[in-house]
Amino acid sequence: MGMTSKAALAGDSLAGRTVLVTGAGDGIGRMAAVAYARHGAEVVLLGRTVAKLEAAFDEIVQAGCREPAIYPLDLACATPSDYAELATNIQGKLGRLDGILHNAAVLDLLTPLEFHPTEVWEQTLRANLTAPFLLTQACLPLLKAAPDGVLIFTSDECAVRPKAYWGAYGVSKAGLDHLALMWAQELDKTAVRIHVVDTGPVRTEMRLRTHPGAAAAAWPPASDLMDFYVRLMGPEGVAYRSLRVQAQEVAGQQGTTQADAGARRKSV
């Protein structure tokens, strides 16, 4: 399942942009961070595990890209003041922020709601829902000041189709969808645009844990999504403004114009 179109992306399509990626230590987050750097962005790597962030840092530098910034932060326990400090540091050290990819997510277990541990419930909602709210709120002045501010939220099928046993993760993803789309309405008259991406089945560590025994080889690797994630973060993303995008549909639009693709999104 490729995300490419007949029009190739320019290698410097994100040049001059500063992008913050949450969950940048592995999976889709790490691949997106590297892809953004390869296309010219200055990247801020945010995650809770320093060793993983350092590995992403090394990959970006070894690719000959601009040196990224590392910002360790545990979203499950971060406070509003932590996010305010993050925004202040970005402003002071980097001078701007053009986009955020909200990709970090916690899924500790699948269990009936009847037996769902309260502590796990609260931590999952804090990491998956409260954190994107607080982080966006803290960084919104920077995004509004950017010529083309971008917020991308990685979503999941369970956000719109409730599934038994998915507990706090499913609830948090449903809430994240609503949060993003509410912000899209509120920011409609600004230069900030919102994208919600339902990736569909992707061969990530999380999906391998939640679907043991499934035919994992049939799932596309996360690398197949990167062309699309770069397009959304760059100027071409204007065609998908403020709409929930299903990655599988985009894959079937190879060769269409961006205007056609944008028009189709209106029905999603």
Q: Which amino acid makes up residue 39?
A: H
| pTM of the predicted model as reported, rounded to 2 decimal places | 0.85
Nearest Cα neighbor of 69 from 144, 151, 82, 92 is: 92
In a domain, 78, yes or no: yes
DSSP code at position 27: H
Nearest Cα neighbor of 101 from 176, 168, 2 is: 176
Q: How many CA atoms lie within 13 A of 60 on its CB side?
A: 30
In a domain, 12, yes or no: no
What CATH number did the domain enclosing 212 receive?
3.40.50.720
In a domain, 1, yes or no: no
Give 64-78 pLDDT, tens digit per residue.
999 999 999 999 999
The domain tally of the chain equals: 1
Note down the domain range covering 194.
18-265
Give 191-245 pLDDT, tens digit per residue.
999 999 887 555 555 554 555 555 555 556 677 788 889 999 999 998 876 577 7
Candidate ranges 2-16, 30-44, 227-241; pick with highest mean pLDDT: 30-44
Q: How many angstroms separate the CA atoms of 265 and 196, rounded?
A: 11
DSSP for 157-202? GGGTS--TT-HHHHHHHHHHHHHHHHHHHHTTTSSEEEEEEE--S-
Query: CB of 255 within 8 A of CB of 5?
Result: yes
In a domain, 165, yes or no: yes
**Catalytic residue IDs:** 169
Query: CB of 188 within 8 A of CB of 235?
Result: no
In a domain, 9, yes or no: no
In a domain, 5, yes or no: no
